[in-house]
Structure 1
């Protein structure tokens, strides 16, 4: 999952980015509205976490830009406890949810997972596919009832592929959702490396990753 974080408080931004990065998500941080607008102009995001009060404007300006562009990005606004009007305005402007400062990082992660689940098939965060059980809340994966240890990148890759299971996902799209702009030293061919590693972890299960040359990868389960 790739996230945009708009937050000018460096300590808050570092804590949020670190908490999501630990589970394998890619986070691009912007400290100003201008920087955030530059980022959404060149990159699509699964979720945008936007503070409202910024030095050069409001996070609602970024929200408006996302909605005017017709993007499917889920938006969660960060608001001050006393700013009820800001919360109402953000929701009326197309935000999906809001969280009042100060907040617990666990609640922020839970709310982001809930936004992603809105396009899924179930209210449960646990995904079952073939003989795989995937629990994003616990960052845990089981194959045939046995726990399978995954690195954070492998976990992120499996999460991406499970979200579009059965569909062909281009390599470039996987890359964009796994890595942030800070991962400058990583090339798109890194996807092949992580695909190979994840395949090894799934050996013996009903689930496999198909390579469709020139098209991408597809996660499938035996019937």
Structure 2
């Protein structure tokens, strides 16, 4: 997971970077100049959904949050502060922050909070979503297909989660690529997404007892996690045929 990290204190951002890396989170460092750019470009095309971690700096932090929200930025925002202060926390939340945490933080808690914000932003209140035989979890657990755990690699998890957050909706290849690779130093060709999708599809299809494909390629537009295929037989018919 790539995230934006605003922490002007060098010793603190180095420590945070190391801590975040242990949970597979890769921070993209931003400074005050970031908030003077055209922030409306962040969500243009729906590609950039990276969360923001903002070090608390009083009114400056409130201004940053308001700038992001007024520009239409819907990315999750979590404020990090050195000491608990209920008044300042309330101000940040009222300005548009999604959460407020006190340093030192535990990355396992941070990741859970980010997962909670992301799934609620997509309209999911529970920890999982079920599509046909597929149960996808938003907390990092492997998906379960027809009662069988399907093991995914870290990259496969990142890609599959974006499909699971948008069940029955098309997710563009650009959106998946940006979420998984973002501003990484090494940027592979976007064809790599096709390769990972193929691997995920094979694993899920192999576990599905119905024989129904669950990851659909919508040519020229992207991919979709769905149980609805117009040319597929109803699940009850498939099971009846199998018994016969």
The two structures have a TM-score, normalised by structure 1, of 0.83
Aligned twin of 1:186: 188
Aligned twin of 1:15: 19
Cα distance in 2 for partners of 1:145, 1:95 equals 38
Aligned twin of 1:198: 200
Q: CA deviation at 1:3?
A: 2.7
Q: Could you give the per-residue CA deviations for residues 183-213 of structure 1, whole angstroms, max 9, x where no partner exists?
A: 4332212111111111111124245222222
Shift of the 66–219 alpha-carbon distance from structure 1 to 2, 3 Å rule, reads same
Is the 1:5–1:49 contact (alpha carbons within 8 Å) kept by the matching residues of 2?
Answer: yes
Cα distance in 1 for partners of 2:176, 2:37 equals 22
Q: Could you give the per-residue CA deviations for residues 101-122 of structure 1, whole angstroms, max 9, x where no partner exists?
A: 2222121112112212323454
Helix, strand or coil for the counterpart of 2:97?
Answer: coil
Cα distance in 1 for partners of 2:141, 2:203 equals 15
Q: Could you give the per-residue CA deviations for residues 40-61 of structure 1, whole angstroms, max 9, x where no partner exists?
A: 565422421211139xx94434
Length, aligned pairs only: 216
Shift of the 114–185 alpha-carbon distance from structure 1 to 2, 3 Å rule, reads closer
Q: CA deviation at 1:215?
A: 1.3
Shift of the 184–202 alpha-carbon distance from structure 1 to 2, 3 Å rule, reads same
Is the 2:52–2:75 contact (alpha carbons within 8 Å) kept by the matching residues of 1?
Answer: yes
Q: Which runs of 5+ in 1 are unaligned?
A: 22-26
Q: Which runs of 5+ in 2 are unaligned?
A: 43-47, 229-233, 235-244
Is the 2:204–2:214 contact (alpha carbons within 8 Å) kept by the matching residues of 1?
Answer: yes
Aligned twin of 1:216: 222
Q: CA deviation at 1:64?
A: 2.2
Which structure: larger Rg? 2
Helix, strand or coil for the counterpart of 2:143?
Answer: strand
Aligned twin of 1:4: 4
- The structure where helix makes up a greater share of residues is 2
- The structure where strand makes up a greater share of residues is 1
Cα distance in 2 for partners of 1:17, 1:214 equals 34
Aligned twin of 1:24: none
Aligned twin of 1:34: 33
Cα distance in 2 for partners of 1:173, 1:185 equals 14
The two structures have a TM-score, normalised by structure 2, of 0.77
